[in-house]
């Protein structure tokens, strides 16, 4: 596509959570530090919240990759599961072989034995649950009971919940107040600031192999911030489209007009941006620009 045109080894603005592109903004670095301190301190429950697209999954994967050899990590990306199925998913992550007809008691017993074996090897086990706002209340209670498992010195299992702000409202329910009281470390991941967004774009381009001075003009960066509100996923989507448009025109820089057109074609941009877009309306649509790219 446009990678060779801009001197890149790979596309810089994918929306898959690739840890090589992790950007240590003040917010994301503080969130990562919070996770590492809490995990190494042996806390039972840790919570990270953030709006859609703010980088929770990427943070989760970066956290697991940073923990080191003293930890065993388990990752469940979709925890919308009833208690027994959730326990089976954890057992699978711990590489346990269970009978198909094993009941919840047997599953829990096998998990406990595995956790004890890992503790004897001086290994800490951390379970990371993405999209945790979707966990049924009954399954949250089952997780709380799992954190009761401990040796004389530490918990056998630590649990990190990554979720949207709806998770906070769920944790306010009276029926799971005991779990909420056990969350001793938490962090809310917010959007990028205007300056951070500039560094974020430059960082991803550099990781992708760009060696030039400035690929996105200052007007383009302003446009990205206005349209995205600093949400990284929206920045990635619009930056990718804007680079395609620039390439389609044979340009060597991404201008504000390219971002304006990309924003028009992107679902989820800030609603108050449309006045700004109308004032600087581009002469062609993204679809037309993409057609030009294909024609090339």
pLDDT tens digits for range 25-58: 999 999 999 999 999 998 889 999 999 999 999 9
CA 202 to chain centre: 20
CATH 1.10.8 region(s) of the chain? 192-295
CATH code linked to domain 192-295: 1.10.8
Cβ atoms of 12 and 257 within 8 Å: the answer is: no
CA angle 85, 91, 95 (to 5 degrees): 140
CATH 3.40.50.300 region(s) of the chain? 26-189
pLDDT computed for residue 63 by the predictor: 98
pTM of the model: 0.89
Q: What is the pLDDT of residues 69-96, one digit of tens each?
A: 899 999 999 999 999 999 999 999 999 9
Looking at domain 26-189, its CATH class is: alpha beta
Neighbours of 98 (CB within 10 A): 14
φ, ψ (nearest 5 deg) of residue 173: -65, 140
Residues (pLDDT < 50) of the chain are 274-276, 279-285, 288, 291-295
Q: Which residue spans within 101-156 are E strands per DSSP?
A: 124-129
Of 1, 10, 22, 6, the closest CA to residue 232 belongs to 22
**Which residues, at least 6 apart from 237, have a Cβ–Cβ distance to it below 8 Å?**
13, 15, 262, 266
pLDDT computed for residue 1 by the predictor: 80
- Spell out a b/e string for 76-97, using b for 16 or more CB atoms within 10 Å of the CB, else e: beebebebbebbbbbbebbeee
């Amino acid at each position: 596509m446009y990678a060779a045109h801009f001197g890149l080894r790979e596309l810089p603005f994918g929306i898959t959570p690739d840890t090589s592109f992790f950007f240590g903004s003040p917010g994301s670095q503080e969130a990562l530090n919070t996770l590492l301190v809490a995990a190494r301190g042996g806390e039972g429950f840790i919570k990270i919240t953030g709006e859609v697209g703010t980088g929770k999954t990427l943070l989760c994967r970066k956290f697991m990759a940073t923990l080191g050899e003293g930890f065993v990590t388990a990752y469940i990306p979709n925890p919308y599961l009833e208690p027994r199925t959730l326990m089976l998913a954890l057992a699978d992550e711990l590489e346990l072989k269970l009978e198909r007809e094993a009941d919840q008691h047997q599953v829990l017993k096998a998990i406990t034995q595995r956790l004890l074996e890992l503790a004897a090897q001086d290994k800490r086990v951390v379970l990371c649950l993405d999209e945790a706002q979707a966990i049924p209340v009954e399954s949250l209670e089952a997780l709380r009971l799992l954190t009761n498992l401990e040796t004389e010195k530490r918990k056998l299992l630590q649990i990190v919940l990554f979720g949207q702000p709806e998770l906070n409202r769920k944790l306010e329910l009276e029926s799971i107040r005991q779990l909420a009281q056990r969350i001793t470390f938490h962090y809310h991941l917010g959007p990028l600031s205007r300056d951070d967004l500039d560094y974020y774009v430059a960082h991803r381009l550099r990781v992708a192999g760009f060696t030039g001075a400035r690929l996105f003009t200052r007007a383009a960066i302003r446009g990205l911030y206005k349209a995205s509100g600093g949400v990284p996923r929206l920045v990635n989507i619009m930056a990718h489209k804007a680079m395609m448009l620039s390439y389609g025109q044979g340009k060597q820089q991404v201008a504000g007009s390219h971002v304006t057109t990309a924003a028009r074609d992107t679902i989820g941009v800030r609603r108050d941006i449309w006045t700004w877009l109308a004032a600087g309306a581009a002469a062609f649509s993204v679809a037309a620009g993409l057609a030009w790219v294909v024609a090339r």
